[in-house]
Chain A
Amino acid sequence: QKEVEQNSGPLSVPEGAIASLNCTYSDRGSQSFFWYRQYSGKSPELIMFIYSNGDKEDGRFTAQLNKASQYVSLLIRDSQPSDSATYLCAVENYGGSQGNLIFGKGTKLSVKP
Chain B
Amino acid sequence: GAGVSQSPSNKVTEKGKDVELRCDPISGHTALYWYRQSLGQGLEFLIYFQGNSAPDKSGLPSDRFSAERTGGSVSTLTIQRTQQEDSAVYLCASSSLGARETQYFGPGTRLLVL
Binding site for B on A (CB under 8 A): 32, 34, 36, 42-46, 49, 51, 88, 90, 92, 97-101, 103-106
Chain B, range 93-114, C-beta contacts under 8 Å to A: 95, 100-108
Interfacial chain B residues near A90, Cβ < 8 Å: 103
Chief secondary structure at chain A's binding surface: loop
Chief secondary structure at chain B's binding surface: loop
Binding site for A on B (CB under 8 A): 31, 33, 41-43, 45, 48, 56, 58-59, 89, 91, 95, 100-108
- B108 near A43 with CB under 8 A, answer yes
Assuming the contacts A98-B45, A100-B95, asked whether A34 and B102 have C-beta atoms less than 8 A apart, the reply is yes
- A44 near B105 with CB under 8 A, answer yes
Interfacial chain A residues near B33, Cβ < 8 Å: 99
